[in-house]
C-alpha cells in the first residue's frame, strides 16, 4: 500500500533470501516494489480526479513495473518484457475481448479493479510510448506531473500533455483527444 511519501509492504511480498530465493520470487518482489513506487507519481503526486479514471493510477503503475524491474534486476532485463507481455498484458487483452467482460478504460459506471484496467491501461500507455518515442513520452509525463502535482487530473488532461509535446515535434496535426 502506498501513500504519499510512505510505502508499506507486506513482509511476505518483498522478503527474499539473497541465496535461496528463486528467480520468480525475486521478480515477484521487484514487481510489487516497482508497482508501488510508480504510485508515488501516478496516484499520489497526481491523483485521478475521480474513480472513473482509475487506469491513470493502475495503468501507469503496471506500465512502469517493467521499466523499473529492468533496473532493479538487470540480469533479468532480456526476459522481463516477454514475461510482462505474456503474463500481464495478453491475459488482460484476452479478457477484454470477451464482450460481457469488456469495458472502456474510462469507467462510466464506477471503478473497475480488474485485469483490464491494469493490463489494458498499461498496453495503451505502451502504444502511446511507441508512437511518441521515449524522449517525447518522458517530456509529456514531466509536463503532466509538473502541471498537476499535488492535485487531480483526468485522462483528457493527460492526453492534452501528450498532444502538446507532439505538436512541437510533428509537422502534421497530432491529437489524442477522445472522440
| Active-site annotation, residues | 36
Question: And the C-alpha cell for 9?
Answer: 509492504
DSSP string, 83-117: HHIIIIIHHHHHHHTSTTT---SS-TTS---SHII
Task: Calculate the CA 119 to chain-centre distance.
Answer: 8
Which residues are CB-contacts of 122 (< 8 A; sequence separation ≥ 6)? Answer: 59, 60, 62, 63, 65, 88, 89, 92
What residue has cell string 483490464? 116
Query: CA-CA-CA-CA torsion for 41, 45, 51, 57, nearest 10 degrees?
Result: 0
Identify which of 43, 29, 26, 27 has the alpha carbon closest to the alpha carbon of residue 117.
43
Q: Please state, in angstroms and rounded to a whole number, the distance separating the CA atoms of residues 26 and 129.
A: 27
Question: And the C-alpha cell for 111?
Answer: 471503478
Amino acid at each position: 500500500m502506498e501513500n504519499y511519501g510512505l510505502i508499506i509492504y507486506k513482509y511476505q511480498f518483498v522478503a527474499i533470501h539473497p541465496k535461496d530465493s528463486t528467480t520468480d520470487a525475486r521478480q515477484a518482489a521487484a514487481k510489487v516494489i516497482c508497482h508501488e513506487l510508480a504510485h508515488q507519481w501516478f496516484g499520489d503526486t497526481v491523483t485521478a480526479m475521480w474513480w472513473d479514471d482509475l487506469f491513470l493510477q493502475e495503468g501507469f503503475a503496471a506500465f512502469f513495473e517493467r521499466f523499473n524491474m529492468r533496473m532493479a534486476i538487470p540480469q533479468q532485463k532480456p526476459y522481463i518484457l516477454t514475461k510482462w507481455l505474456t503474463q500481464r498484458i495478453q491475459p488482460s487483452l484476452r479478457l477484454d475481448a470477451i464482450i460481457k467482460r469488456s469495458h472502456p478504460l474510462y469507467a462510466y459506471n464506477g471503478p473497475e479493479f480488474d485485469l483490464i484496467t491494469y493490463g489494458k491501461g498499461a498496453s495503451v500507455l505502451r502504444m502511446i510510448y511507441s508512437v511518441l518515442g521515449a524522449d517525447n513520452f518522458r517530456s509529456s509525463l514531466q509536463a503532466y506531473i509538473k502541471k498537476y502535482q499535488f492535485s487531480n487530473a483526468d485522462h483528457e488532461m493527460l492526453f492534452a500533455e501528450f498532444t502538446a509535446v507532439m505538436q512541437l515535434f510533428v509537422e502534421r496535426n497530432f491529437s489524442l483527444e477522445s472522440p
